[in-house]
Amino acid sequence: MHGFSTASSSVRCFGPSRRAPHLPRTQTSFRRLNAYSSNKSKRPLRVAIIGSGPAGFYSAYRLMTKLQDAVVDMYEQLPVPYGLVRFGVAPDHPEVKNCQDKFEEVAESPRFNYIGNVRVGSDLDLARMKPHYDAFLFSYGASEDKKLWIPGEDLPGVFSAREFVGWYNGLPQFQHLAPDLEAGDQAVVVGQGNVALDVARILLTPLNLLRHTDITEQALQTLDRSKVRSVRVVGRRGPLQAAFTVKEVRELMNIVGVAFEPINRSFYPEDIKKLPRIQRRIAEVLSKGTEVMPSNAGKSWALDFLLSPKLMNASRTSNQLSSVTFTKMAFPPDTDTTSKLAPVVSTNNEKTIPASLAFRSVGYKSSEIPGLSDLDILFDNKLGIIPNDAYGRVIMPSAEPSELAAGHVPGCYCAGWVKRGPTGVIASTMDDAFTSADVIVSDWESGVPFLNSDKGDNASTGLGWDGVKKDVIEKGIRPISWEDWKRIDAREQERGKHLGKVREKFSSVEEMLKIFDS
């Protein structure tokens, strides 16, 4: 997984629809995936897909279905596949992970090759790979958090939601996180998307509802000692502009024994039924609230609006976070406050909320992998995307908007978050991936130049992974095949069975690779 393609918590397997879309399940399409009938008029298309999350797998499925001789090599920097589906989806939402079953069908095709534990750009140079492929499809996710850029953001007790979600889901790079959930009884989450509500729900959900999921044992033990009793989820605009979905809100409302602090009714028009459907449904759930009141509940949560973070404050006796100061915001006069894009302005007033824990949940972005410039790809660090024409074709740095057709980087495509930014749900990721794959197919069939077209039609040896794996092995790196992953998968399920849960994930790459020592 190149980055946190991980989407969870928001791809999102973080997102409005929690049920993952399935690949079309027909005997015809499955036979096509397993077919290997070469087009005699042209050699088979060989594609390297970088990233094994939903965007990568959906792209592979579409390519292999539409071109019955296309061969796909999928590269993943971790030994294990699925990206955000494995490491971003909340453990109490197992139905979202059903798409893994369909991805496995893709991987069973003889025209698909999984290469895990190989970091493209570091363990294997893109320039070295180029002679062995017709196309690159970059589908890795978002590995960087957007920061608040306020004083105190690096205090102990302040975490990014991405880190926290990765921690309880077993993402190796965050197993050192050690959040101190015993430092106090109130947590603040800055941001009001679905990931923010995921964090609140995990902090408030009774452990008996999590014990049988694939949440890590380390996380369960830490949550068992937690003293957090109140979670405040804070946004800089109003409830009609918040990014969370009705399903996420409803799940929090339905946690037994957890109360919701009623919100100010003035945020809504007199007649809620006149709101657009999605806003109306959320408004109805928030207005109804919970039967139990915060004063009578053991735990509670709240949504605070029109507050922009200004300062993270340390305790007077230690360097631990003790509170968060916000600037109060307001809607300008005559603003349509029901609009999703309604602007807000700063006031001179502040509000400080006590908190021993704070989670930053204001978005993510993808980062550049080494070697893109060798392919004439200029990564957009500001937006965190690979510049493209919105259909998935990578655009040359010098291309003008009116000259996109002449500015494509031959044989280079992208899909998912690195294509459009960290937005959308699994369903939109599937649609986006299909679009990128369709463009590759269209370009291939119409004779558009690909990676090595300047060297003649038969320049590519078509070796793919077989042409470069020696470079990786000579560096002492142990590539992981799909069969290897299935061994890891079986061992994790076996470990989970002993604990009465779905699986117990390995918490480090070293642990994953250790099972191959015997």
Q: Would you list which residues are annotated within the binding site?
A: 55, 76, 84, 120, 192-195, 236-237, 248, 417, 424-426
Pairing of the two strands 186-190 and 230-234: parallel
Which is nearest to 118 in space by CA: 226, 216, 1?
Answer: 1
**Residue 190 neighbours by CB under 8 Å, 6+ apart:** 148, 196, 234, 309, 324, 358, 359, 360, 361, 362
Q: Residue 274's CB: how many other CB atoms inside 10 A?
A: 10
* CA distance linking residue 458 with residue 41, whole number of Å: 12
**Residues at the annotated binding site for NADP(+)?**
192-195, 236-237, 248, 424
Other CB atoms within 10 Å distance of the CB of residue 119: 17
Rg of the chain in Å (alpha carbons): 24
Three-state DSSP state, 273: helix
Pair 93, 165: CB distance under 8 Å:
no
What are the helix (H) ranges across 358-474?
Answer: 417-420, 426-446, 469-474
> Residue 406: is it exposed, middle or buried by C-beta count within 10 angstroms (0-12/13-18/19+)?
exposed
Contact (Cβ atoms closer than 8 angstroms) between residue 80 and residue 86? yes
Answer for the pair 201, 251: CB distance below 8 angstroms, yes or no: yes
Binding site residues for FAD, as ranges? 55, 76, 84, 120, 417, 424-426
- Residue 105 to residues 9, 313, 487, 490, Cα–Cα distance (Å): 25, 51, 17, 17
